[in-house]
Amino acid sequence: MLAKIIEDYKMVNSVGNHVGKVKDIFIDLNTWMVVGFEVSPGTLKKDIVIRTQDIVKFDEADGIIIVKDDYVPEESPEHPMKERYSFDELKKHDVVDSEGDKVGRIYNLEIPFEKLKAFKVWKVLIKTGISERRLRLNPSEITEIMEDIKLAKTEDEYQGSE
């Protein structure tokens, strides 16, 4: 399942009461685990974060995430943290290869539906802009996230292995 698809899901509790709509996904960049979801509870209400341990079920057919009735909402962090990094923030950084040459930008994450119980990012999708090529890389290929997102190899090495 792609992160962009999850961002269209609605959250409800076990009896179907509206919690909100998923706006963003938070990732622990140390483990590439999804650790929470930023949820908009509605107009004029402050966004909240629902932790993955409060998720009971993903209903792929209806686009609904069911949360525990006793979930504890948290405030959205004001600044990115390595243990809770926003996917929207991640997309703002340039991706560079091991030599520092710009490759492109992250545009999506692949989180296999069958792995959602583990909430593990399986692949990072990078749009290169070169003849509309895209890279599908394992998160372990990312060596550093600072001003730019640095990859372990050169772009040519990735293009040759696709």
Helix/strand/coil for 114:
helix
What CATH number does the domain located at 3-85 have?
2.30.30.240
By mean pLDDT, which of 33-47, 55-69, 119-133, 145-159 is the weakest? Answer: 119-133
Identify which has the larger pLDDT, 161 or 35.
35
Range 123-137 average pLDDT: 84
Q: Do domains 3-85 and 87-161 have the same CATH topology?
A: yes
Give the CA count within 13 Å in the CB-facing half-sphere of 30: 5
Signed CA dihedral, 47, 48, 51, 52: sign only: negative
Among residues 18, 8, 6, which one has the least CA distance to residue 43? 18
- Enter the pTM of the model: 0.88
Tokens matching residue 18: 């509206």
CATH for 87-161, options being 3.40.50.720, 2.60.120.10, 2.30.30.240, 2.40.420.20: 2.30.30.240
Q: Where are the domains of the chain?
A: 3-85, 87-161
The model's pLDDT over 10-39, given as tens digits with 9 standing for 90+, comes to 999 999 999 999 999 999 999 999 999 999
Q: Residues 85-112: pLDDT tens digits?
A: 999 999 999 999 999 999 999 999 998 8
Average pLDDT, the chain: 90
